[in-house]
Structure 1
């Protein structure tokens, strides 16, 4: 199979028929073998009914429906797990991503042998204050911390080689950092392509300003995990030893001063250095224990269930 197109969605019943028809026109023109996987992330409108109707007439369409809204990362994870195509393309369901970009993205993966191609919405049709400016700040910070020179990390339109999506774990709200996750997994041939962005035709955006706060917090998380995720003791242990050593030096100074220099001076407990020593040694011990526990958890962790699927639909079930 040439292509798997994964489309996460939430309350997009108006745009789905038009999006499906547009995708099919492009795919039939280039005669790709394909599958389209719609992932309904807990929609409360008629989106699932539209997906079932499309799947009834097209055996290449599959649908996954979550029991409730779990977020875009979990929707992508479910789609990646089910995808079978040589190239996996993700796109949003709001018609702001153009299916006309699919052939060029496919060729960049197959012919130019890139592992991942991220879309770059160089010209956007979103609100400047609500999306454009925060996105630029967010992408600047992501470039500085990840080392990737992409302009638009969070663009929904991306293309992946099959091996990439089978070797990364997209959880929490890490869909913004899939290129970083791919890089950390060892896939280094990552590039971007300027793609067409269109104004929203139906409905309203599902993301508010809080996503940028969450985005920066996730950026800190993934930056830490990329450096110390597999060796937490190297961070917590080293910091703990440093803090404990500082406290030990203060304690040694107090002891020497009391025994040999000022034996009749103030009590050690009356001196501020005593509390500095006590605090730093306690913090150092706690940090060291945190690193030790992190190592234990890392060795014994298991894959936990992150979402519950309410029902699926595919041609074989119809």
Structure 2
């Protein structure tokens, strides 16, 4: 037997999440699958949606075990790439949405969805990174691939106190970039400075839409977790040839902008997807996380939780009340 946070739906479409005892026979049937003894998971915005009424449009079937990330040790494997005792990490592939996820002491998934735990990271640290940090690393790599270097000027990080923003701030600062961190929560300023932000930008400075398609050239690069009006505003402030890596839509999916920044300044808008990222790129990003994210800073952005805390934390992350990263000890 093992414990899992199981979400059920009744005849009135009301969903309920509670810690429930399951056994191996309850795990999904997966051809060529790997059973993992989960050690840690985490809390992302998508997890909050999956725990919300209706599953946020992400959950297909009930009962369901959410958790889009997990780390742990292989227990059994039908695939020769993994053997009992191997340490592994999973992010993405719609695990925790369409497929049972990491809010359990055991998970069974396809071998293709796993990556080996990178050297230099513990399972707990891997979940302090999680999808949010993995996405942040993909964003930094994309900006670098489009020519960003530390000598070009300030790099903007929007939604900087959230999971993606926190890790992006720490990575960029560690690589020598001058980070301008945008936050709507003044109380997080000291936290962001500790992560390496050179200065704090109040959300109000960028939240207002303007009619001018171009403003003064300000930012050498940007990791944007907000989208919406703020992204539209930022596009008009990018330096010539600069890039914005779009990683989220906390401010909305609508983008009220024009093509002018792209045509007159050669601005690049780079879409960052961590869910379906192919294996080789996924492995490179995790290896970069292990070398470029200062682990001391990682510890500063972490709060710990257990399975029973997840329903409340799901509500908190949707309300923008979670700072940094949450690591869930599924065995606590």
TM-score of the alignment, normalized to the shorter chain, above 0.5: no
TM-score computed with the length of structure 2 as normaliser = 0.23
Larger radius of gyration: 1
Structure with the higher fraction of residues in strand conformation? 2
Structure with the higher fraction of residues in helix conformation? 1
